[in-house]
Structure 1
Amino acid sequence: MRLLIYLFTLILSTVLGYSQNFKKEIIDIDSDIQGDLYIGDSQNKSVSIFIAGSGPTDRNGNALPIMTTNAYKLLAEGLSQNKQNIFTYDKRAVALSKKKDAPENEGVFEDNVNDLNLIINTLKKRFSSITLIGHSEGALVALLAANDPSVTKYISISGPGETIDKTLSKQIAKNAPFLQKQSDEILSELKKGNTVDNVIPMLQSLFRPSVQPYLISWIKFDPAIEIKKLNKPILIIQGDKDLQVDLEQGKLLHQANPQSTIVTLAGMNHVFKNIEKDEDNMKSYNNGTLPIHTELVPTILNFIK
């Protein structure tokens, strides 16, 4: 009996040891930006910085109470299990979303890039090379910061290949075609730099006046133009079950910079989960226990190494 207990304890400690063979440090970049530094190998002088997608999405890949995926946390753990160091952080939008008096209309897209530059400047004091991994909107943010000399590689996961007005127009045409005319009229004005006062209730969540300055600043940047400027190793990852960013977006990026590597993961959706049945796609946005796609970590590892 004692032998069985000993063997069980040995097996349990081995499993736990494997699942926790990394350290995690909490780092404050400034008063609003905080993140987790996963240390997979303290001797490794390279680090990846993960840049989250749009909205108040936190360092774990969640936007409570709307979305709970733990996608970023699971990816960071997977990479650190393989002796990689990675930093995930709460964007300033996450901190501001918790402040009742934070003015929403003061934020612009460039703020995200400035914050990422601040993070790069902080981490390059400790690491000699940096890989930027951007997801969705974060892929464009990372792209705009990738020319820093400390950044040696760039990874886009579900990143757009065209301006946000075109992306939004296509998404609305696909999911709510009855709203396309009104939304395209608004997007046309925003692209000219004009705000729009008269927004119908069904489009308020997307085009409410307080977010229009942000959209105006975002529309200015074309990912296909920006990626042409980048002369560093580039990996473009797309999932063929992505409901938000279709495969054409990755192709546009690859065409703009043919030196890039493009990989399509069969079954992966926008939040990195493997989808076998289409009806389970949206459900995965609120299931933080689902593992991420089995090929995502190996694909990134092969590129980083």
Structure 2
Amino acid sequence: MVHQEQFSLVGAAGKPIYGDLSYDPQNSNMPLVIFVHGFKGFKDWGAHDLVAKYFVQNGYRYLKFNFSHSGVIADNPTDVTDMETFADNTFSKEMLDLDVVINHATNYLGVDGAHLIGHSRGGGLSILQAANNPSVKSLITWSSIADFSSLWKKEQEDDWRKTGKIGVYNARTKETMPLNVTLLNDFETNQEILNILAAAKRVNIPWLIVQGDEDVNVPFSTAEQLANANPASRLVKIAGANHVYGVTHPYRSDTLPAQLFEVCEKSLKFLAHNFK
């Protein structure tokens, strides 16, 4: 039996962080996994609920949440619709949100730490947290970026500074989504703090790097970069997998696609090997 409990917290700039915790009510001592979504992502995207259920069936509590500036509102949890809030996001705001979630979850559940799973941009944030937050007990990254500035083109920066805004195309919704120049300013002001590869070298907890070899968003060489930065990490290749391991949104099936199932299996095996 899998139970899901909804919650909300106050995040960056007073905006709400909406989340849910999936667990087995008959086993209150299961270790905690926190999932960190990526750019243009959110906790109810694709097969995230199925992943949560699968982890619970295999002995874990699974927490996922929307960043306060994800642009996803309570009344419409399955799409980014609040473009003004989305545009106003920064990496520092997401780091603050992740701190809030980890601190609240570990205190509320009375655990001494959590296992982080970060996808794409969420992988980069999770690497930073793993290098700095003693409450993070292990790190799993799925299709992680190695540099936040890889999320835009260098040649966009001059126009971005001049106009105060750029647009990023969402292939799924066919929308152009706005990003304010505060994102660029935040990255440039905090480059040292937000240096993913530098943080990767300082990760001293068990770390599994998962990457598809047909990912057009984040090439396999990025995973190799991360693995080379931290030789103690373990790199697993998912053959033929794209950036989201065969999932689409909305996801209509009640079973995980084969590649994402493989990702979950490898992740659970890694956790079992290191912590059981």
Task: Give the equivalent residue in structure 1 for 2:226.
Answer: 253
Task: Give the equivalent residue in structure 2 for 1:228.
Answer: 201
Question: How far apart, CA to CA, are the structure 2 residues paired with 1:241 and 1:267?
Answer: 5
Higher strand share: 2
Task: Give the equivalent residue in structure 2 for 1:54.
Answer: 39
Q: Is the 8 A contact 1:33 1:95 kept in 2?
A: no
How many residues of Structure 1 are paired with residues of Structure 2 in the alignment? 243
Unmatched tracts of structure 1, length 5 or more: 1-20, 62-69, 170-183, 274-283
Task: Give the equivalent residue in structure 2 for 1:173.
Answer: none
Question: How far apart, CA to CA, are the structure 2 residues paired with 1:212 and 1:198?
Answer: 5
Task: Give the equivalent residue in structure 1 for 2:19.
Answer: 35
Question: How far apart, CA to CA, are the structure 1 residues paired with 2:64 and 2:222?
Answer: 24
1:217 matched to 2:186? The reply is: yes
Q: Is the 8 A contact 1:54 1:138 kept in 2?
A: yes
Shift of residue 249 of structure 1? 0.5
Alignment partner for residue 205 of structure 1, among 152, 162, 168? 168
Please give the per-residue CA displacement for 1:240-262, whole angstroms capped at 9, x wherever unaligned. Answer: 22221110010000000000011
Task: Give the equivalent residue in structure 1 for 2:71.
Answer: 94
Q: Is the 8 A contact 2:211 2:238 kept in 1?
A: yes
Q: Is the 8 A contact 1:32 1:95 kept in 2?
A: no
1:138 matched to 2:122? The reply is: yes
Question: How far apart, CA to CA, are the structure 2 residues paired with 1:72 and 1:216?
Answer: 32
Q: Is the 8 A contact 1:48 1:86 kept in 2?
A: yes
1:120 matched to 2:102? The reply is: yes
Question: How far apart, CA to CA, are the structure 2 residues paired with 1:224 and 1:145?
Answer: 13
SS at structure 2 position matched to 1:196: helix
Question: How far apart, CA to CA, are the structure 2 residues paired with 1:85 and 1:106?
Answer: 31
Task: Give the equivalent residue in structure 2 for 1:289.
Answer: 252
Shift of residue 128 of structure 1? 2.4
SS at structure 2 position matched to 1:250: helix
Shift of residue 303 of structure 1? 1.2
Q: Is the 8 A contact 2:168 2:178 kept in 1?
A: no
Task: Give the equivalent residue in structure 1 for 2:268.
Answer: 301
Task: Give the equivalent residue in structure 2 for 1:156.
Answer: 141
Normalising by the residue count of structure 2, what TM-score does the alignment of the two structures yield? 0.78
Question: How far apart, CA to CA, are the structure 1 residues paired with 2:249 and 2:115?
Answer: 29
Higher helix share: 1
2:104 aligned partner, one-letter code: T
Unmatched tracts of structure 2, length 5 or more: 74-79, 170-175
Shift of residue 104 of structure 1? 5.4
1:23/1:213 CA distance change after superposition, 3 Å:
same
Shift of residue 302 of structure 1? 1.0
1:209/1:288 CA distance change after superposition, 3 Å:
closer
Question: How far apart, CA to CA, are the structure 2 residues paired with 1:303 and 1:95?
Answer: 32
Question: How far apart, CA to CA, are the structure 1 residues paired with 2:60 and 2:30?
Answer: 9
Shift of residue 234 of structure 1? 0.8
Q: CA RMSD in A?
A: 2.7
SS at structure 1 position matched to 2:71: helix
Shift of residue 59 of structure 1? 0.8
Moved more, 216-225 or 228-237: 216-225
Task: Give the equivalent residue in structure 1 for 2:161.
Answer: 195
Query: Looking at CA atoms only, which structure, 1 or 2, has the larger radius of gyration?
Result: 1
Aligned-residue sequence identity (percent) comes to: 25
Question: How far apart, CA to CA, are the structure 2 residues paired with 1:209 and 1:87?
Answer: 28
